[in-house]
Amino acid sequence: LRLVGLGDVYKRQVKGKDFIDEKKIRTNLEQQAHPDPQRVRDILQKSLSIKLLTPEETAVLLNVTDPALLEEMREAALEVKKRVYDNRIVFFAPLYCSNLCVNRCVYCGFRSDNPEEKRHILSPEEIYRETEAIIDEGHKRLIAVYGEHPKSDADYIADSISTIYAVKRTTPSGNGFNNIRRVNINAAPMAVEDLRKLWRAGIGTFQVFQETYHPGRYAELHPANTIKGNFRWRLYAMHRAMDAGIDDVAIGALFGLYDWKFEVMGLVEHAHDLERQFGIGPHTISFPRMQPAPGSFLSENSPYLVNDDAFKRLVMVLRLAVPYTGLIVTARERAELRREIINYGCTQTDASSKIGIGAYAGKKLQEENADKVQFMLGDQRSLDEVIKELADDGYITSFCTAGYRCGRTGDKIMNLLEKGVEGKFCKLNAVLTFREYLNDYASAATKEAGERLIQRELQEIENTSFFTDKKLLPTFLNYYRRIAAGERDLYMSVSYTHLTLPTIL
């Protein structure tokens, strides 16, 4: 593997400088070490008007320790989430396609010098069978994950995207088909020409985690003679994705590698630079906490492991700092913590996840597959169980992928999210896809909780002038009845060209 296209990295630096400036981040954190409560409240007001916070403002929030102020922040975070995304949670499943890897990241079970790992790359037939098993859980979107290796290059990834989209399954109720309608990718940073291959194959979101935004710590954890050892190649991965035409990009940091406050500042700087250079912020931000990985001492003994309290604070601050961006909490976290974190403003999560290579079709728990996993998950509950828990908490599961299929991606969706329109409009598609799930896959207990929730949602929709004024209601109710009677994959695809934003608002 070669790093072709390094010139694309330098092209995106501003005046020869990276958007991550260690000194500036440190100065911000130090200067805002003792936040004034009134300043904090002013910043919360800015967040509530759905505006990206500056790095200085983010540093203020990161330094709040007073329990009463933290509670005000929590409430504001929840309100921001409600305004932008309402009470929807989007579900996906991870599909690990290959654990072959040429890198040696010290925290990861896939690293090439880990003799405990049994290596395997899924064939197209195996990807097909894994996808069938994921669809049979009720999923409609997934994220495919790959180690970095010549065998899992852009052509392999593009082919796997096509294979996944080709799988169709009869639903258990016999009501037509279910399929994966959105394939996101988590893979190594690539050159623009390779990213174009993924774009042509129909990639949803392209996700790369920076791991740590601290250049020195990054160098300690990623040997210099590996591809991943190049900090800048990774730092500008999303800039290249945008250059390739992929306008839904997802960023993240692996929390536990370095100081959590520094990482949050890095993520916010990253969001600012994408906005500055492309006019579009990240579609989602992830904040995975490092989990124990087979054969990795650091994964359990890092001096920077983030405890639950700090974790809750960092999620809250991210929600407030980048109000329009989706936040992903994964099954890495324990069930009870995940439930709480969702309350702090997360918008996406996974369930029924299996991260062993080939583990879905083989129906294997991670304990039976420990030599093929990257790390251990904290929550192995089924999609059905998690959906029930969320329905009990008032959250509606959305399998909606209509946004993408109507072309509401990138700057188009960002505009709607920032103006709070997306949250309202997508409620309709959330209800339609939840209806499908309840009819096709839900257990009796989930169905009972789901029916209660969906009735509340229907009432709210019928009483909301946004829906009645825009004449969306008759079409929606028509689709709802048809889905309840057995039709599938009907979604609201109103063209925004005839709904000018100011009149919607």
Kindly list the residues in this chain that would bind ligand SAM in the complex (CB under 6 A).
107-108, 110, 145-148, 186-188, 208-209, 211, 254, 288, 290-291, 293, 299, 332, 374-375
User: What Cα–Cα distance (Å) separates residue 303 from each residue in 255, 259, 260, 266, 293?
Assistant: 11, 9, 11, 19, 16
For Cα atoms 199, 200, 206, give the angle at the middle one, nearest 5 degrees.
Answer: 15
Q: Is the dihedral of CA 292, 296, 301, 304 positive or negative?
A: negative
Taking the least distance from each CB to ligand SAM, the nearer of 91 and 110 is 110
Taking the least distance from each CB to ligand SAM, the nearer of 259 and 422 is 259
CB of 218 to ligand SAM, least distance (A): 12
Taking the least distance from each CB to ligand SAM, the nearer of 91 and 96 is 96
**Enclosing H/E stretch for 97:** strand 88-98
CB of 273 to ligand SF4, least distance (A): 23
Which residue in the block uniquely carries the two structure tokens 């001096």? Answer: 303
CA-nearest of 284, 389, 317, 319 to 81 is: 319
Q: Name the binder of 321 from ligand SAM, ligand SF4, none, CB < 5-8 A by kind.
A: none
Q: Name the binder of 145 from ligand SF4, ligand SAM, none, CB < 5-8 A by kind.
A: ligand SAM
Tokens matching residue 128? 């097909």
Q: Return the range that interacts with ligand SF4 (CB under 6 A); candidates 75-83, 104-112, 281-289, 356-364.
A: 104-112
Taking the least distance from each CB to ligand SF4, the nearer of 110 and 287 is 110
Q: Is 280 in the site for ligand SF4 (CB under 6 A)?
A: no
Taking the least distance from each CB to ligand SAM, the nearer of 380 and 415 is 380
Judged by CB under 6 A, the chain residues 343 through 372 that form the site for ligand SF4 are none
Q: Is 103 in the site for ligand SF4 (CB under 6 A)?
A: yes
Among 182, 197, 228, 313, the residue binding ligand SF4 under the rule CB under 6 A is 228
Contacts with 265 (C-beta within 8 Å, 6 or more apart), sequence order: 25, 28, 29, 55, 58, 59, 62, 213
Taking the least distance from each CB to ligand SF4, the nearer of 1 and 33 is 1
Three-class DSSP category at 98: strand
DSSP assignment of 104-119:
--TT-TT-TT-TTPPP
- Answer whether 351's CB lies under 8 Å from 390's CB: no
d(CA 327, CA 82): 13
Q: Return the range that interacts with ligand SF4 (CB under 6 A); candidates 101-109, 271-279, 391-399, 440-448.
A: 101-109
Tokens matching residue 337? 């913590």
Which residue in the block uniquely carries the two structure tokens 């520094």? Answer: 262
CB of 286 to ligand SF4, least distance (A): 13
Q: Is 122 in the site for ligand SF4 (CB under 6 A)?
A: no
Give me the residues paired with residue 195 across strands. Answer: none
Bin 396: left if φ > 0, else alpha if -120 < ψ < 50, else beta: beta
Tokens matching residue 382? 């089924």
Q: Is 323 in the site for ligand SF4 (CB under 6 A)?
A: no
Taking the least distance from each CB to ligand SF4, the nearer of 37 and 215 is 215
CB of 104 to ligand SF4, least distance (A): 6
Binding stretches for ligand SF4 (CB under 6 A): 101, 103, 105, 108, 110-111, 147-148, 228
